[in-house]
Structure 1
Amino acid sequence: MVQSIGGIAKYSATDLDRFAQELNKDGICVIPGVFEQKLIDEWTQAFEKLFYERQNQPGGLAPREISGYYLTLPWIYPFANELVFANPVIMGVLKRVFFQEYVMVQLGVDVPFQGSDYQETHRDFRPLFSDQIVTPLYALAVNFPLVEVTAENGPFQMARGTHVLPREEGLKKVASGEDFVGNALQGPDPALGDNFWAPEVAYCDRQFYLYYSVGHEDKNHQLRVATSDTPLGPYQDVGEPLVDPNSCPFAIDPHPFRDDDGQWYLFYARDFLDTSDGVRAGTALFVDRLQTMTKLAGEGKVVLRARSDWQRFLANRLMYGEIYDWHTLEGPCVRKHEGKYYCFYSGGRWETENYGVDYGIADNVMGPYSDAGNETGPRVLKSVPNFVRGPGHNSIVLGPDGKTEYVVYHAWTENMDMRQICLDMLIWKLERPSCNGPTWTPQTISNY
Structure 2
Amino acid sequence: MKMRIFLTAACCCALALSGYAQKVKDKKQNGNPVFEGWYADPEGIVFGKKYWIYPTYSARYREQVFMDAFSSPDLVNWTKHPRVIDTAAIKWANKAMWAPSIIEKDKKYYLFFGANDIQSDKETGGIGVAVADKPEGPYKDHLGKPLIDKFHNGAQPIDQFVYRDPKTGTYYLIYGGWSHCNIAKLNNDFTGFIPFEDGKTFKEITPQGYVEGPFMFMKDGKYYFMWSEGGWTGPDYSVAYAIADSPMGPFKRIGKILQQDPAVATGAGHHSVIKHPKKDKYFIVYHRRPLGDNNGNHRVTCIEEMKFAKDGTIQPVKITFEGVKPLSLK
Residues 400 and 412 of structure 1: is their aligned pair in 2 closer, same or farther, counting only changes over 3 Å? farther
Deviations 1:368-413 (A, max 9, x none): 2111x43xxxx21111124220101111113597331111111000
Of the three residues 240, 256, 259, the one matched with 2:145 is 240
Instruction: Report the TM-score, using the length of structure 1 for normalisation.
Output: 0.49
* 8 Å Cα contact 2:235-2:266 kept in structure 1: yes
Q: What percent of counterpart residues are identical?
A: 25
State the secondary structure of the residue aligned to 1:193.
coil
Residues 246 and 356 of structure 1: is their aligned pair in 2 closer, same or farther, counting only changes over 3 Å? closer
Residues 367 and 444 of structure 1: is their aligned pair in 2 closer, same or farther, counting only changes over 3 Å? closer
Name the counterpart of 1:269.
Answer: 176
Q: Which amino acid aligns with 2:137?
A: G
Q: Which amino acid aligns with 2:147?
A: L
Q: 1:54-73 to 2 correspondence within 5 Å?
A: none
Mapped partners of 2:303, 2:137: distance in 1: 26
Name the counterpart of 1:140.
Answer: none
Q: 1:311-326 to 2 correspondence within 5 Å?
A: none
Residues 154 and 183 of structure 1: is their aligned pair in 2 closer, same or farther, counting only changes over 3 Å? closer
* 8 Å Cα contact 1:305-1:329 kept in structure 2: no
Q: 1:26-41 to 2 correspondence within 5 Å?
A: none
1:225 and 2:129 equivalent? Answer: yes
1:297 and 2:297 equivalent? Answer: no
Mapped partners of 1:294, 1:401: distance in 2: 32
Aligned length: 241
Q: 1:381-396 to 2 correspondence within 5 Å?
A: 381-396=258-273
Mapped partners of 2:174, 2:226: distance in 1: 11
Name the counterpart of 2:82.
Answer: 181
Q: 1:67-86 to 2 correspondence within 5 Å?
A: none
1:213 and 2:114 equivalent? Answer: yes
1:427 and 2:304 equivalent? Answer: no
Mapped partners of 1:216, 1:252: distance in 2: 7
Of the three residues 407, 412, 416, the one matched with 2:284 is 407
Deviations 1:66-99 (A, max 9, x none): xxxxxxxxxxxxxxxxxxxxxxxxxxxxxxxxxx
Residues 218 and 423 of structure 1: is their aligned pair in 2 closer, same or farther, counting only changes over 3 Å? farther
Mapped partners of 1:231, 1:193: distance in 2: 23
Name the counterpart of 1:349.
Answer: 231
Mapped partners of 1:397, 1:199: distance in 2: 15
RMSD between aligned alpha carbons?
A: 2.9
Deviations 1:141-161 (A, max 9, x none): xxxxxxxxx943679xxxxxx
Larger radius of gyration: 1
**Greater fraction helix:** 1
Of the three residues 200, 216, 219, the one matched with 1:334 is 216
Q: Which amino acid aligns with 1:284?
A: H
Name the counterpart of 1:445.
Answer: 325
List structure 1 runs of 4+ shifted beyond 6 angstroms: none
Mapped partners of 1:443, 1:236: distance in 2: 34
Residues 305 and 399 of structure 1: is their aligned pair in 2 closer, same or farther, counting only changes over 3 Å? closer
* 8 Å Cα contact 2:264-2:319 kept in structure 1: no
* 8 Å Cα contact 2:179-2:206 kept in structure 1: no
* 8 Å Cα contact 1:222-1:249 kept in structure 2: no
Mapped partners of 1:209, 1:259: distance in 2: 16
Name the counterpart of 2:158.
Answer: 252
Deviations 1:128-148 (A, max 9, x none): xxxxxxxxxxxxxxxxxxxxx
Residues 303 and 217 of structure 1: is their aligned pair in 2 closer, same or farther, counting only changes over 3 Å? closer
Residues 256 and 444 of structure 1: is their aligned pair in 2 closer, same or farther, counting only changes over 3 Å? closer
Mapped partners of 1:289, 1:432: distance in 2: 27
Residues 249 and 367 of structure 1: is their aligned pair in 2 closer, same or farther, counting only changes over 3 Å? closer
Of the three residues 436, 442, 446, the one matched with 2:317 is 436
How big is the shift at 1:447?
A: 7.5
How big is the shift at 1:223?
A: 0.8
State the secondary structure of the residue aligned to 1:253.
coil
* 8 Å Cα contact 1:223-1:254 kept in structure 2: yes
List alignment gaps of at least 5 residues for structure 2.
1-45, 52-76, 196-200
State the secondary structure of the residue aligned to 1:366.
coil
Name the counterpart of 1:10.
Answer: none
How big is the shift at 1:222?
A: 0.5
* 8 Å Cα contact 1:362-1:369 kept in structure 2: yes
Mapped partners of 2:50, 2:260: distance in 1: 37
Mapped partners of 1:444, 1:406: distance in 2: 9
Q: Which amino acid aligns with 2:97?
A: F
How big is the shift at 1:431?
A: 1.6
Q: Which amino acid aligns with 1:188?
A: I
Instruction: Report the TM-score, using the length of structure 2 for normalisation.
Output: 0.65
Name the counterpart of 1:68.
Answer: none
Residues 361 and 415 of structure 1: is their aligned pair in 2 closer, same or farther, counting only changes over 3 Å? same
Mapped partners of 1:447, 1:233: distance in 2: 25
Deviations 1:318-374 (A, max 9, x none): xxxxxxxxxx61111101111111111111101212110001221111222111x43
